Amino acid sequence: MKDFIVMNKTALVVFAAAAVMIGMGPASGEAGTVFTKAIRICLECIGIG
């Protein structure tokens, strides 16, 4: 396991940064914003909105 960590330091750093950023999105309320925009785009494609 130690060899795996030593060989993949960059991948582990990127993975940890991604996990932190994924956690920050919902914590700052961005999930609701993205959901609202997705609804608007879908309604525009159907022709209702």
> Mind giving me the DSSP string for 1-43?
-HHHHHHTHHHHHHHHHHHHHHHHHHHTTHHHHHHHHHHHHHH
- Model pLDDT, residue 44: 84
Alpha-carbon distance 39 to 30, whole Å? 14
Predicted TM-score (pTM) of this structure: 0.54
Please list the ranges in the chain whose pLDDT falls under 50. Answer: none
What integer pLDDT is reported at residue 46 of this predicted model?
83
Q: State residue 19's pLDDT score.
A: 96
